[in-house]
A = this chain, B = another copy of it.
């Protein structure tokens, strides 16, 4: 049981991110202390600084990783929904809100404007899931299920609706039981509200 602790951890950056993600999930961003992470991992209090110049940098890295994970979640959901446009929309919207409510604190990090200089990196990371929404809208327009027009605008509004539903639930302003019903209403309204003019 004599734990060998080599001078170099070997994987500290990843270990920090993993531990940070767990703390974020369990206790929120406010409770996330670099020193706690270091203690838990078994390195000295200043070690994290070699990998993240400051606390915010670690949070930003979490946000960037979050967008990547969100993107792959959405793509998986969409791929599993077949080719039908409506079912793709439904699957994607459901997957998004599920991710958002399962990762409340992470979502907050991802969308919150605390990022001053690193904003570019985060905005870039956000483009992946954003792009997916755009692809979806483009499919709908190609199939004449959605009105032509500013694709990005429609996509952003859809994205915003999902994000808003999740935010209301995460903020405990709306009880979680309502999630599925709200998403369903949002899906229906979107499909009806954005379909081509007759």
Contact = CB atoms under 8 A, between A and B. Distances in A.
A165 B157 contact: yes
A81 B114 CA distance: 35
If over half of A's interface residues share one DSSP class (helix, strand or loop), that class is named, otherwise mixed; here it is: helix
Contacts of A123: 172-173
A193 B187 CA distance: 10
Contacts of A126: 173
A164 interface: yes
B104 A108 contact: no
Contact of A163 (B30, B130, B150, B167): B167
A168 B164 CA distance: 10
A181 interface: yes
Contacts of A194: 189, 192-193
A160 interface: yes
Contact of A185 (B110, B154, B168, B171): B154
A172 B119 contact: yes
A49 to B, nearest CB: 19
A168 B160 contact: yes
26 contacts: A28-B114, A108-B112, A108-B113, A110-B171, A111-B168, A111-B173, A113-B170, A115-B172, A122-B173, A123-B172, A150-B185, A153-B182, A156-B168, A156-B178, A156-B182, A157-B182, A157-B185, A160-B161, A160-B186, A161-B164, A164-B164, A167-B167, A189-B189, A189-B194, A193-B193, A193-B194
Given A108-B112, A123-B172, 18 more contacts: A104-B113, A111-B173, A119-B172, A150-B185, A153-B181, A156-B182, A159-B168, A160-B163, A160-B165, A160-B167, A160-B168, A160-B182, A160-B186, A163-B168, A167-B167, A188-B193, A190-B193, A192-B192
